[in-house]
């Protein structure tokens, strides 16, 4: 239980019943409190089980502190990422779900537990759980690829699926594949590296190595999907904006029984030649007519959750790409 009261000098005081969580709530050298002070323009003073809040966003600071305290009670660690996420989640007022961060759905693997860091991520996790085909569209840093990878590992560990298949179109970014050294796997692996990175974050290295060796997890270029029917699988196509129409249709029709498919991409980052239309753009229009077991989740610049500079960079590029009014 947490109690709060407002003093006469516009200072809110909140109290936490379990003092054992207070050091982690404050952070080493009160770093978590300082982070909240900086981002919300408030002043926080901790004494014992009480924290007094004064300044601009008093009520938001209270919600954030209560949020972080609840996370600690559930056994989660608290750092800058959690502080920033809690501020982001609690500051959005148009929340139909009306839930604090600690009430949002989780994705659990044996190595890692992942929670939504934006309300759009919460929408995405709900879609991943209920839909057989999910589209995640938006800029880098929104979790549109990472969350499906974690969800796939969760279902694999629960034995709800027997295989994870991760794919990307091997679009040549300035280098011709034929001039790169090695066999086909060596040539396409650099394009698939982001998928390996996501897997390494949620699986122990030796287990990931074993799964890759025996084919429980398969990472392959899009061309390898032709002619297959993928059953009992979790299939993820990343960078789908770089598929053409025929490739996208081919991929969508690989879905087999007891499988889920997730397609991610950023329609503002198409690397195809100018005379070739993106298969993702067309697929979004066509599948919007299908209501059952299909979800579309669109991320925006406010949903970027990487380093704060990434969001500023995305914002700057979007501003620069807008036509200048004369």
Q: What is the pLDDT of residue 146?
A: 93
Whether 195 has a pLDDT exceeding 60, the answer reads yes
Res 174: pLDDT? 39
- pLDDT for 307 beyond 80: no
Q: Which residue has the higher pLDDT, 292 or 236?
A: 236
Predicted pLDDT at 255:
93
Are 10 and 20 a contacting pair, CB within 8 Å? Answer: no
- Among 203, 201, 276, which residue's Cα sits nearest to residue 246? 276
More confident residue, 295 or 196: 295
Percent of the chain scoring above 90 in pLDDT:
37
The CATH code of domain 104-321 reads: 3.40.50.300
CA-based end-to-end distance of the chain: 58
In tens, the pLDDT along 78-130 reads 888 888 888 877 877 544 444 554 456 778 888 888 888 888 999 999 999 99
pTM of the model: 0.75
Q: Do 295 and 135 contact (CB within 8 A), yes or no?
A: yes
Mind listing the pLDDT tens digit for each residue in 126-167?
A: 999 999 999 999 998 899 999 999 999 999 999 999 999 999
* Three-state DSSP string of 277-302: CCHHHHHHHHHCCCCCCEEEEECCHH
CATH of span 2-91: 3.30.1370.10
Res. 193: pLDDT tops 60: yes
pLDDT at 54 over 50: yes
What is the pLDDT, as a whole number, of residue 311? 64
What's the mean pLDDT when you consider all of the chain?
Answer: 83
pLDDT confidence of residue 157? 94
pLDDT(205) > 50:
yes
Query: pLDDT at residue 211 above 70?
Result: yes
What pLDDT, in 10s, does the model give residues 268-287? 988 888 888 999 999 999 99
Task: Report whether pLDDT(226) > 90.
Answer: no
Query: What is the structure's pLDDT at 295?
Result: 95
Contacts of 88 (CB under 8 A, 6+ apart): 117, 118, 305
The string of DSSP letters for 9-56 reads: TS-EEEEES-GGGHHHHH-GGGHHHHHHHHHHTEEEEEETTEEEEEES
Confidence band of 76 (pLDDT split at 50, 70, 90): confident
CB atoms near residue 262 (< 10 Å): 29
Segment among 6-10, 11-15, 53-57, 215-219 with least mean pLDDT: 6-10
Locate the domains of the chain by residue range: 2-91, 104-321
What confidence score (pLDDT) does residue 98 get?
43
Give residue 292's region: left, alpha or beta (phi > 0; psi -120 to 50). Answer: beta
Q: What is the pLDDT of residues 14-40, one digit of tens each?
A: 888 888 888 898 888 889 898 888 888
Residue pLDDT, tens place only, 228-269: 889 999 999 999 999 999 999 999 999 999 999 999 999 998
- pLDDT for position 97: 42
């Amino acid at each position: 239980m947490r109690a709060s009261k407002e003093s006469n000098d516009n200072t809110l005081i909140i109290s936490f019943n379990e003092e054992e969580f207070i050091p982690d709530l404050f952070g080493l050298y009160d770093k978590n409190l300082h982070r909240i002070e900086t981002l919300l323009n408030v002043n926080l003073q901790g004494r014992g089980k009480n924290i007094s809040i004064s300044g601009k966003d008093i009520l938001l600071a209270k919600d954030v502190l209560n949020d972080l305290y609840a996370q600690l009670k559930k056994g989660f660690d608290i750092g800058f990422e959690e502080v920033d996420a809690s501020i982001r989640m609690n500051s959005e007022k148009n929340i139909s779900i009306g839930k604090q961060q600690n009430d949002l759905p989780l994705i659990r693997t044996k190595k890692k537990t992942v929670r939504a860091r934006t309300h759009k991520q919460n929408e995405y996790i709900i879609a991943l759980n209920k839909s057989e085909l999910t589209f995640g569209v938006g800029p880098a840093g929104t979790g549109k690829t990472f969350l499906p990878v974690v969800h796939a590992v969760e279902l694999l560990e629960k034995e709800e699926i027997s295989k994870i298949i991760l794919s990307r179109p091997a679009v040549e970014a300035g280098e011709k594949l034929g001039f790169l050294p090695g066999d086909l796997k060596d040539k396409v692996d650099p394009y698939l590296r982001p998928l390996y990175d996501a897997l390494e974050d949620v699986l122990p290295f030796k287990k990931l190595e074993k799964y890759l060796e025996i084919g429980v997890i398969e990472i392959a270029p899009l061309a390898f999907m032709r002619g297959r029917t993928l059953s009992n699988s979790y299939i993820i196509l990343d960078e789908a904006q770089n598929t053409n129409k025929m490739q996208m249709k081919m991929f969508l029709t690989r879905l087999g029984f007891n499988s889920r498919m997730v397609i991610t991409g950023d329609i503002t980052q198409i690397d195809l030649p100018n005379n070739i239309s993106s298969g993702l753009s067309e697929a979004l229009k066509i599948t919007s007519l299908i209501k059952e077991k299909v979800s579309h989740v669109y991320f925006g610049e406010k949903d970027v959750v990487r380093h704060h500079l990434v969001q500023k960079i995305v914002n700057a590029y979007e501003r620069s790409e807008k036509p200048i009014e004369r």
